[in-house]
Structure 1
Amino acid sequence: MNAASSRWLHDPENAYADWQEREAVGADRRLFSARSIVQHRAMFRRFLRFLIGRGVNLASFDATHVEAFFAESEQRFLPGTTTRLRYLKLLDRLSRQLIADQVRREHPVAELLADAHWPTTEPVPLYMPPDADLRLQQWAQADPGDDAAARRDKAIVAMLLATGVTAIEFRTARTEDLRTDGRPPYLHVGEHGPRPARTVALEAFAIPLLTDWRARRLRDDPPNALLFPGDRGPDVSAAALCRIVRQALLDVGFSAPDMSPRVLRNTWGRRRLLAGDDHQNVSRLMGLTSSRTVVRLQRTIDGGVVDARD
């Protein structure tokens, strides 16, 4: 066993990180962007954890393990996305490198990849139409009868719907990041992976509720504590966040294949476009490195077809 193959088996995360940084290339033979590298490493870690849980490693996993990984994970894949195909592409590159480094002899995903095809058009991004958006804004208002759980759930939905942040940005926000006393009130979103730090002005409907929530958090914990702590852990879990958002959407009569925080993020971006913001500014406020997502949202307004080749 050579040094490279030994490292893949005994230190797989760092072996993958080094290979991804120095050598891994996409279909166009170019090195991946910083953002793609962050995403690929997270995907690899998730797959590696699955293998370890099944008692196999990078030398011994086969196509049945890959299929089992998909069967277990696909309930978490967002509808209409290419997550499964992106995993297959990643495992294809990884398998070819493992063969080159003499870690294994056979390619475990070759047949699965042969049956996979990129869609020629991208799915229309899911969002709330303006009437449903307004109903949710009204739902996220304080009521004298709200208990602690209701206040928290409303504040969670209000923050997501009023800022367009991602779920991970939401979960890592600190109380000091929310400045309801600013002029205008805003949320500071810290740097996360390839996304640069940015400041997002709060939508007016959310300011009273978030002002109250911030005051409550400052009474309980220091300013650098998480803005939304979890009930059973340091932060609100991804599963709990999805449950809260899903229930809020159902409460206002909205139903879609995807009922996750992504719908609120898309709704925020589309609302900004309807208000006249240009693509560059909306992309910047959403922390996007390209305008592709915003162009797709714009086409839901213009009525055009969203083409994956754009």
Structure 2
Amino acid sequence: MRNLWLRNPSLAYAAWQNQERASEAARGFAPQSIIQHRAMLDRFHRHLVSHGVTVANFSGKHIEAFWLQSEATSYAAETRTRYLQLLSRLCRYLVEIGLRDDNPAADLMSDAGWSGQGNPPLYLPEDVDLRLQDFVMADGGGDAATLRVRAVVGLFLGTGITAAEGRAAALHDLHPAGDAPHLVAGTGRGRPARTIPLEAFAVDALGAWKARRQTLPIGGDLLFATRASGKPITDMSLGNIVREAFDRIGYEAADMSPRILRNTYCRRALLAGMPRDRVSELLGLSSHHTCDRIMATIRPRRNGSAVTDARDGDDGHATDSACTML
């Protein structure tokens, strides 16, 4: 079956759907939906073939590039969401059978991009961003659990990577020492690796965690791994760690996950005047959709500097003040 996914994804997908329909536990889809899903996958697969990749190794960049095709540029947000839902289900299954290591569609669904609801992206108010940076920089002593919390928050708030990239990050990808501390992200995920400078506030926390991680009895070389097996930390565990950091600074947001830290990183960079091309590049995106949505929360002052939309800070949006890239 795995070989069939590589040779003829359309036939493999049809067989998988029939298998799912036969399952008593399956919810099932209406016949018309099944036809639509197969047509959608065929359309997306033709796009993959044109880019020289397969269902086993396409990345989020290939999904982003799909929206730029002449036919797809007219897709409504709801249509894009349906594609992402289909691809996310597909990738989850391919991960289960060992044909993929990741689910880039889930990354995009949880990103600022395609909620399909028209909701503005969530990000931290600038004063909360600074409080969280102070937490990352605080002396946590020698406790490994505290070092890990500070490092996890520092990684996402200080690089803007996705949760999946954080789960896949290896010790050799992190370079906190030297004149240009940085993280190499995107390796082994079907996309070109990119070098992301570490924000200054995150350098010491990440350096301390890397040093401690190398002394812990955990297998493999992942930066964050489960203690028992050395396998990647789960998305649930990452979410719990981020929520713990919010608890420690006494803040509650509508979304307390790596996603809101990524959006906050993006917005901080845009507020600092970084070109959206460069911000999108650092985020690993091939389109400017995410940057444009977050840029829409920023309005110019009369003197040309940036000011945020005035919103209630408790809803996860920034208040009326400017910030700089730290």
TM-score, normalising length from structure 2? 0.60
Aligned pairs for 1:17-32 (under 5 A) are 24-25=42-43, 31=47
Residue 125 of structure 1 is matched in structure 2 by: 121
Q: Distance in 2 between matches of 1:221 and 1:288?
A: 35
Match of 1:228 among 219, 224, 227: 224
The Cα of 1:174 is off from its aligned counterpart by 0.7
Partner SS, residue 139 of structure 1: helix
Aligned pairs for 1:69-84 (under 5 A) are none
The Cα of 1:251 is off from its aligned counterpart by 2.6
Q: Distance in 1 between matches of 2:111 and 2:180?
A: 36
Cα distance, 1:169–1:6 mapped onto 2, change above 3 Å: closer
Q: Distance in 1 between matches of 2:199 and 2:124?
A: 16
Q: Where in structure 2 are there 5+ consecutive unaligned residues? A: 1-7, 21-33, 52-57, 67-82, 97-108, 300-307, 310-326
Residue 184 of structure 2 corresponds to residue 138 of structure 1: no
Partner SS, residue 258 of structure 1: coil
**What amino acid does structure 2 have at the position aligned with 1:245?**
V
Are 1:169 and 1:192, in contact at CA under 8 Å, matched by a contact in 2? no
**What amino acid does structure 1 have at the position aligned with 2:264?**
T
The Cα of 1:171 is off from its aligned counterpart by 0.7
Partner SS, residue 296 of structure 2: helix
Q: Where in structure 1 are there 5+ consecutive unaligned residues? A: 51-76, 84-117, 305-310
Cα distance, 1:172–1:193 mapped onto 2, change above 3 Å: closer
Q: Distance in 2 between matches of 1:49 and 1:213?
A: 29
Aligned pairs for 1:1-310 (under 5 A) are 4=11, 8=15, 24-25=42-43, 31=47, 35-36=62-63, 40-46=86-92, 119=117, 122-143=118-139, 145=141, 147-191=143-187, 193=189, 195-220=191-216, 225-233=221-229, 234-302=231-299
Cα shift readout 1:121-144 (whole Å, capped 9, x = no counterpart): x21100001100000011112425
The Cα of 1:182 is off from its aligned counterpart by 3.5
Cα shift readout 1:58-77 (whole Å, capped 9, x = no counterpart): xxxxxxxxxxxxxxxxxxx8
The Cα of 1:191 is off from its aligned counterpart by 3.5
Are 2:131 and 2:249, in contact at CA under 8 Å, matched by a contact in 1? yes
Are 1:23 and 1:31, in contact at CA under 8 Å, matched by a contact in 2? no
Are 1:279 and 1:294, in contact at CA under 8 Å, matched by a contact in 2? yes
Cα distance, 1:45–1:177 mapped onto 2, change above 3 Å: closer
Cα shift readout 1:29-49 (whole Å, capped 9, x = no counterpart): x84785338964442254799
Figure out how many residues of one structure are paired with residues of the other and give that number. Answer: 234
Q: What is the Cα-based RMSD across aligned positions, in Å?
A: 4.0
Are 2:218 and 2:226, in contact at CA under 8 Å, matched by a contact in 1? no
Q: Distance in 1 between matches of 2:93 and 2:176?
A: 40
Are 1:78 and 1:258, in contact at CA under 8 Å, matched by a contact in 2? no
**In percent, how many aligned pairs have the same letter?**
37
Partner SS, residue 264 of structure 1: helix
Cα shift readout 1:1-40 (whole Å, capped 9, x = no counterpart): xx95997159979xx9xx97997227xxx84785338964
